[in-house]
A and B are shown apart, each in its own frame.
Chain A
Amino acid sequence: SQQGEEDPQALSIQEGENATMNCSYKTSINNLQWYRQNSGRGLVHLILIRSNEREKHSGRLRVTLDTSKKSSSLLITASRAADTASYFCATDSDDTNAGKSTFGDGTTLTVKP
């Protein structure tokens, strides 16, 4: 079963608006990552937040992590049509090797021009 669950499953907004996606997970983690995937292709790494961090920014992206609630959010500000994609959160619990990640089923974001 998937550890992460994204909410909402689908999101449709106008260009220029902000998009917020949420992720919940079940067990303790070392880090949480957000990925973007276009049309069933490979995943593009967006941002990694460590378990001892609460917020991280990268360009128009802002990620928060609340380990007490086992949840994270991804905010995309001033969205563009090119942001249309599926977004996944993934968690790593292993202490020595990244990559045994547990993914949710993603949020499909549609940004209308």
Chain B
Amino acid sequence: ETGVTQSPTHLIKTRGQQVTLRCSSQSGHNTVSWYQQALGQGPQFIFQYYREEENGRGNFPPRFSGLQFPNYSSELNVNALELDDSALYLCASSLGGGRVSYNEQFFGPGTRLTVL
């Protein structure tokens, strides 16, 4: 069984640039959720993708966008980077659909984004 992987591990960008972060879900999972974790805080839900469609979004502006591919891997794109976007970005995969709200989600190691 392959776990959740994320790339890159670390990334440094300058304000105004765009960034793409990638996540490969655990084998058999069809749902990917993205979270932003600022230093010293808990993760905040950005959005979720289920079977290639956005399935819920947190309180993040439209410059945060995403994709999910047929193999259920996912990308998080952030445009017009701001200094406050510096954070650890986590993705988590789970098996969704039907009455499966008891299922666990499994997190990747995260991508540390620094915006200068």
Q: Which of A's residues lie within 8 Å of B, judged by CB?
A: 2, 4, 30-31, 33, 35, 40-45, 48, 50, 88, 90, 92, 94-106
List chain A residues, Cβ under 8 A from B110.
40-42
Contact-size category for B: 35 or more
> A92 and B42 in contact (CB under 8 A), knowing A97-B55, A99-B31?
no
> A42 and B107 in contact (CB under 8 A), knowing A97-B50, A99-B96, A100-B48?
yes
List chain B residues, Cβ under 8 A from A43.
43, 90, 92, 107
Nearest-CB distance from A103 to chain B (Å)?
4
* B12 CB-CB contact with A under 8 Å: no
Nearest-CB distance from A89 to chain B (Å)?
9
Across the interface, B33 reaches (CB within 8 A) one of A50, A100, A106, namely A100
> A98 and B42 in contact (CB under 8 A), knowing A41-B110, A42-B110?
no
Q: Which of B's residues lie within 8 Å of A, judged by CB?
A: 4, 31-33, 35, 37, 39-45, 48, 50, 55-56, 58, 88, 90, 92-110, 112
A44-B101 in contact (CB<8A): no
Across the interface, A99 reaches (CB within 8 A) one of B37, B39, B41, B94, namely B94
List chain B residues, Cβ under 8 A from A103.
35, 42-44
A69→B17 CA distance, assembly (Å): 46
List chain B residues, Cβ under 8 A from A92.
101
B96-A106 in contact (CB<8A): no
A86→B76 CA distance, assembly (Å): 25
List chain B residues, Cβ under 8 A from A40.
37, 39, 88, 110, 112
List chain B residues, Cβ under 8 A from A97.
31, 48, 50, 55-56, 94, 96-97, 100-101
A90→B37 CA distance, assembly (Å): 13
A98-B44 in contact (CB<8A): no
Q: Which residue of B lies closest to A50 (CB)?
A: B102
A106-B42 in contact (CB<8A): yes
List chain A residues, Cβ under 8 A from B96.
96-99
Most B Cβ at <10 Å: residue of A30, A40, A92, A98: A98
